[in-house]
Amino acid sequence: MNAVTYFQETLSELKLVRWPTRAQTVKLTIIVLAISLLMGVYIGALDLSFTKLVSLIIK
């Protein structure tokens, strides 16, 4: 398979892809950011809790 055939087939496959609408993209991006923020807060709280617990045990 040469490079020209490869790119022709790639373009033909990309035409078959059902791309999300702008509204779907924005909605899903907001969901991903919100979940990432919540997970960051959760993991940060766990880290702080374990740090405090270890410092109480070590003292």
Q: What's residue 55's pLDDT?
A: 94
Give residue 56's domain range.
20-59
Q: What's residue 59's pLDDT?
A: 78
Whether 20 and 28 have beta carbons less than 8 Å apart is answered as yes
**8 falls within a domain:** no
Token pair 């790119």 is found at: 7
Please state the domain count of the chain.
Answer: 1
pLDDT mean by block of 10 residues, the chain; 59 residues: 91 94 98 98 98 93
Q: Report the alpha-carbon distance of residue 16 to residue 5 in Å, rounded.
A: 17
Per the confidence metrics, is the pTM higher than 0.75?
Answer: no
**12 falls within a domain:** no
Q: What's residue 32's pLDDT?
A: 98
**10 falls within a domain:** no
